[in-house]
Amino acid sequence: MGLSGATGMPLPCPCPGCQHPAGWQRRKRFPNRYQDPPRSQPPGRPDGPQGAPPDGWEGGSGSARTAPADAVLCPQRGTAAAPARILLLALALLPPGPAAPCSPQPNATRFVCTEPALRSFPAGLPRTTLAISVEFTALAALPPAALLPVPRLQELHLSSNRLGSLPAALLRPVPALRLLDLTNNLLRDLPAGTFSSSRRLQHLVLRGNRLRALRPAWFQHLPRLLWLDLGSNALPELPPGAFRPLRSLRSLDLSRNLLAALPPGALAGLGALERLDLEGNRLLTLPPAAFEPAPALRLLFLQENELRELPPRIFLPLRQLRVLDLARNRLRELELPPPGPGPALELDLAGNPWHCGCALRELLLSAAPLLSAAADTRCASPAHRRGQEVAALSGAGGCEHSGAGQQPPGP
Across the chain, what does the average pLDDT equal? 78
Q: How far apart are the C-alpha atoms of 308 and 329, rounded to whole Å?
A: 7
**Residues 115-173: pLDDT tens digits?**
999 999 999 999 999 999 999 999 999 999 999 999 999 999 999 999 999 999 999 99
| 307 pLDDT higher than 90 | yes
| The pLDDT of residue 35 | 37
The whole-angstrom separation of Cα 53 and Cα 69 is 8
Global confidence as pTM? 0.72
- Identify the residue with better confidence: 11 or 168: 168
DSSP-based three-state secondary structure for 85: helix
* Dist. CA 245–CA 70, nearest whole Å: 67
Encode pLDDT of 52-106 as tens digits.
333 433 333 333 333 444 444 444 444 444 556 665 555 556 555 555 568 899 9
**Confidence (pLDDT) at 339:** 76
State the first-to-last Cα distance of the chain, in angstroms, to the nearest integer. Answer: 96
Q: For residues 29 and 304, which has the higher predicted lDDT (pLDDT)?
A: 304
DSSP label of 290:
T
Per-residue pLDDT reduced to its tens digit, 332-376: 988 887 777 778 888 888 889 888 878 777 776 665 566 665 556
What confidence tier does 242 reach under pLDDT thresholds 50, 70, 90? very high
In DSSP terms, 4 is beta-bridged to: 10
The one-letter code for the residue type at 71 is A
CA–CA separation, 12 and 28 (whole Å):
18
Q: Is 139 exposed, middle or buried (0-12, 13-18, 19+ CB in 10 A)?
A: buried
| Residue 276 scores a pLDDT above 90 | yes
* 298-323 average pLDDT score: 95
Whether the bond between 382 and the residue before it is cis, its omega within 30 degrees of 0, is yes
Q: What is the pLDDT of residue 108?
A: 95
